[in-house]
Structure 1
Amino acid sequence: MLEITVREATEADWPALAELRAKWAAEQLGARQNHERNDDGAAFESVFSEWAASNPRITFLAERDGDAIGMVNFLVFNRMPKPDAPPSCWVYVGNAFVLPDERKRGIGGALMESALERARALGAVRVVLSPSTQSIPFYERLGFTPATALMMQNL
């Protein structure tokens, strides 16, 4: 078995991240409809790169022998400062994905541990996410609990 590495992604990784995102979207689409992606991969890579350039996120990439097999990213929300209190932030984790053939091997856990380690280093006071129904047990194993104090409004 080849070694798996998890590292912070760079701009040079955007094509690999775009491909993972396309595979994730195809998997989700396949669950709803049984047809192939119609778009041009190069066109999506361009759209993805524009998005990544204008949406500063910290992204972690899992690789096996240099091939991208999983990802997770997070957005940092710096909280408004308070008098006599240190600066603080919280982190929103999103876009966690591991290729289907690579799942249940600890890769998702390794990606999340890298993200959580970085969040701790940033001094985050909380980490939030919006799990899919099937990912809830995974996040519960990592210590996440339901967030009863947050509210939302769909627009």
Structure 2
Amino acid sequence: MGEGVLVVRQAGAADRAALGGLRRAWTDEQTGDAAFDPDFAAAFEDWLEREGDRRVCWLAERAGQPVGMVNLALFERMPRPGQPRSRWGYLGNAYVLPEHRDAGTGAALVTALLAYAKEEGLVRVVLSPSARSVPFYERAGFHRADELMLITLG
């Protein structure tokens, strides 16, 4: 496991390459082959640029090196007469490098994200966990929900 103090902070424009590197590491871990993709870095940066104000990313670092990330996609409900504004978030793309797992990095990322969600007055945060990550999210306070429906189109 890496040495150094864990720092979790909101990522900015200067962190795009670090976030892209973590996304590439995640892909390599999942597929065993992060195939060479000369357009990936540019495509990733373009995606982050398009997401603009609707997505907030956090970066975890140890000794100045990126070790984990998570992001929150923000959604605002259509206004209703006489009702307060209602916003919610989708927690996505949580990833911690394998050698930095089980050391509080993921929990620190989720804690930062949930603190932000509360400060922003979001009414809920949802996610689509892997089977392996369900206990982790339950420890963070999430519970299984039956209210949503899904159709897979592709």
TM-score range for the pair, normalised by the shorter chain length: over 0.9
Name segments (4+ residues, structure 1) moved above 6 Å.
none
The reply to whether residue 43 of structure 1 matches residue 45 of structure 2 is no
User: Over residues 19-38 of structure 1, what are the superposed CA-to-partner deviations in whole Å (9 max), with x where a residue is unaligned?
Assistant: 000000110102xxxxx333
Please report the TM-score for the alignment, with normalisation by the length of structure 1. Answer: 0.92
Q: Show CA shifts across 1:50-96 (max 9, x none).
A: 11111231000000111000000011101112222221101000000
Q: % of aligned pairs identical?
A: 47
Instruction: Determine helix, strand or coil for the equivalent of 2:9.
Output: strand
Which of 83, 104, 110 in structure 2 is aligned with 1:85? 83
Give the structure 1 partner of residue 72 of structure 2.
Answer: 74
Match of 2:15 in 1: 13
Match in the other structure for 1:129: 127
Unaligned runs of 5+ in 1: 31-35
Q: What is the root-mean-square deviation in Å for CA atoms of aligned residues?
A: 1.1
Query: What is the identity, as a one-letter code, of the residue corresponding to 1:117?
Result: A
Does the CA contact (< 8 Å) of 2:25 and 2:34 recur in 1? no
Q: Normalising by the residue count of structure 2, what TM-score does the alignment of the two structures yield?
A: 0.93
Is 1:111 equivalent to 2:104 in the alignment? no
Q: Which residue of 1 aligns with 2:25?
A: 23
5+ residue gaps, structure 2, are: none
What amino acid is aligned across from residue 80 of structure 1 in structure 2?
M
State the alpha-carbon separation in 1 of the partners of residues 98 and 61 from structure 2.
14
- Structure 1 counterpart of 2:58, one-letter code: F
Separation in 2 of the partners of 1:106 and 1:135?
14
Matches within 5 A, 1:50-61: 50-56=46-52, 57-61=55-59
Query: Once the two structures are superposed, what CA deviation does each residue of 1:112-147 show, in whole Å capped at 9, x if it has no partner?
Result: 010001111111111000001110110011111111
* Selected match of 2:62 from 40, 51, 64: 64
